């Protein structure tokens, strides 16, 4: 199966993997593990699993250039902070309500795309108003009083996840989704592990015995969900992937109903309908970034990196051997990947053929005079 086809299939699997996160996370928290422990251990399990798979089967996706690594570090930091907010809020709320609040991230994506100063039109104002009404109904008409700290943490995670989706579409322009997934999750693992080591609570043997199985499953679903998410952003774009991923709400609600016993009140069901209406009002151009590109620094560094590679391959020399002549040094042997060569061609304007540094106008050949026929008049 071609990689593009695999990306499409993976994108459709995104809701399934994302919808499992609140269920197994809640099971681990109910078993006695604190939120920081769940966030840290599930990310470590996901990273160890990915590195093992990549090292054994797909080593070509381990390669990354410095500018791309910087972009993945930025995305992983944002997503890691969001995951701490997510599991902190999940420990205070029902899994179904938490996932509904997390679904607000698509509204935040649209708002973030307007940071460049684009005016807010009536359609956007109406969409935000409907989403706000849905938020009020979901949090204020439940069977139990809401935990407002948990609500705030979930909304903060939605904002961070929106930033992850927006930033990833720039980094994925020049890198394959598996590479972005590997280094983004690795950055997340480093961040959340540091936070857990500072403020987390170690698990007792009894807690570990009950909480580690759902944490392990959660780690595997985290790895698969990030691969499918970034594959969808690369092949479908951020809007189509985000709307497709919102079906994770249905997956989470169904699993929470049968596994955790969560129930929504009739007003909350109406609030779910309002949230869906607000999301369906989003247009493709609403997801386009306006004004300043927040990842332009990464783009500039990427261009600079390719310029360094081009200069080295054109003028670089091997270091002289001991006792050798400096003038006899031979050029360096090119070791460029296909992606680097393609990026160099695009940067130098040679998408379809070799570069002509000094284009000269071609002289037209002299026009041949047609011979006169024997009967022509002189």
The per-residue pLDDT for range 242-293, each reduced to its tens digit, is 666 567 777 888 888 888 888 888 888 888 888 778 777 766 555 554 444 4
Q: Which residue in this structure is represented by tokens 């609500």?
A: 151
How distant is the alpha carbon of residue 107 from its chain centre?
17
Q: What is the mean pLDDT of residues 147-174?
A: 86
Q: What is the mean pLDDT of residues 9-22?
A: 74
Query: What single DSSP character describes residue 259?
Result: I
Contact assessment for residue 208 and residue 333, using Cβ atoms and an 8 Å cutoff = no
Distance CA 278, CA 249 (A): 14
pTM of the model: 0.69
Sign of CA dihedral 167, 170, 175, 176: positive
How distant is the alpha carbon of residue 244 from its chain centre?
14
| Coil, strand or helix at 263 | coil
Average pLDDT taken over every residue of the chain: 75
Confidence at residue 152, expressed as pLDDT on a 0 to 100 scale = 93
pLDDT at 3 over 50: no
Contact assessment for residue 183 and residue 298, using Cβ atoms and an 8 Å cutoff = no
Contact assessment for residue 272 and residue 134, using Cβ atoms and an 8 Å cutoff = yes
Picking from 102-116, 161-175, 224-238, 244-258, which range would have the lowest pLDDT averaged per residue? 224-238
DSSP class per residue in 75-127: HHHHHHHHHHHHHHHHTTS-HHHHHHHHTTHHHHHHHHTTTT-PPP-HHHHHH
Tell me how crowded residue 129 is: count the other CB atoms within 10 A of its CB.
12
The per-residue pLDDT for range 116-150, each reduced to its tens digit, is 555 667 777 787 788 888 888 888 777 778 888 99
271 token code pair = 């609030």
């Amino acid at each position: 199966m071609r990689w593009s086809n695999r990306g499409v299939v993976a994108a459709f699997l995104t809701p399934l993997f994302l919808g499992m996160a609140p269920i197994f996370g809640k099971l681990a928290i109910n078993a006695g593990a604190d939120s920081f422990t769940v966030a840290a251990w599930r990310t470590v399990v996901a990273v160890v699993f990915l590195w093992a798979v990549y090292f054994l089967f797909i080593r070509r996706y381990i390669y990354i250039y410095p500018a791309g690594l910087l972009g993945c570090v930025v995305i992983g930091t944002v997503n890691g902070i969001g995951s701490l907010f997510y599991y902190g809020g999940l420990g205070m709320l029902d899994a179904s309500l938490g996932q509904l609040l997390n679904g607000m991230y698509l509204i935040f994506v649209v708002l973030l795309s307007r940071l460049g100063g684009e005016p807010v039109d009536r359609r956007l104002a109406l969409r935000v108003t409907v989403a706000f009404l849905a938020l009020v109904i979901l949090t204020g008409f439940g069977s139990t009083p809401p935990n407002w700290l948990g609500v705030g943490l979930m909304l903060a995670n939605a904002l961070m996840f929106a930033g992850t989706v927006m930033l990833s579409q720039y980094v994925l322009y020049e890198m394959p989704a598996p590479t972005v997934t590997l280094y983004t999750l690795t950055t997340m693992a480093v961040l959340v592990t540091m936070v857990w080591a500072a403020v987390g609570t170690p698990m007792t043997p009894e807690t570990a015995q009950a909480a580690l199985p759902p944490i392990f499953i959660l780690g595997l679903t985290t790895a698969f969900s990030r691969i499918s998410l970034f594959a969808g952003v690369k092949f479908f774009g951020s809007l189509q992937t985000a709307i497709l991923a919102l079906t994770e709400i249905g997956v989470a609600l169904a699993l929470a109903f049968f596994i955790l016993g969560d129930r929504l009140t009739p007003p909350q069901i109406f609030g779910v309908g309002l949230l869906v209406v607000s999301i369906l009002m989003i247009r493709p151009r609403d997801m386009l970034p306006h004004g300043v590109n927040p990842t332009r620094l990464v783009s500039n560094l990427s261009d600079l990196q390719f310029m360094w590679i081009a200069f080295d391959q054109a003028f670089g020399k091997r270091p002289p051997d001991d006792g050798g002549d400096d003038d006899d040094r031979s050029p360096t042997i090119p070791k460029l990947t296909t992606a680097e060569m393609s990026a160099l061609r695009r940067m130098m304007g040679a998408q379809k053929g070799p570069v002509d540094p000094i284009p000269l106008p071609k002289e037209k050949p002299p026009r041949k005079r047609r011979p006169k026929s024997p009967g022509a008049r002189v």
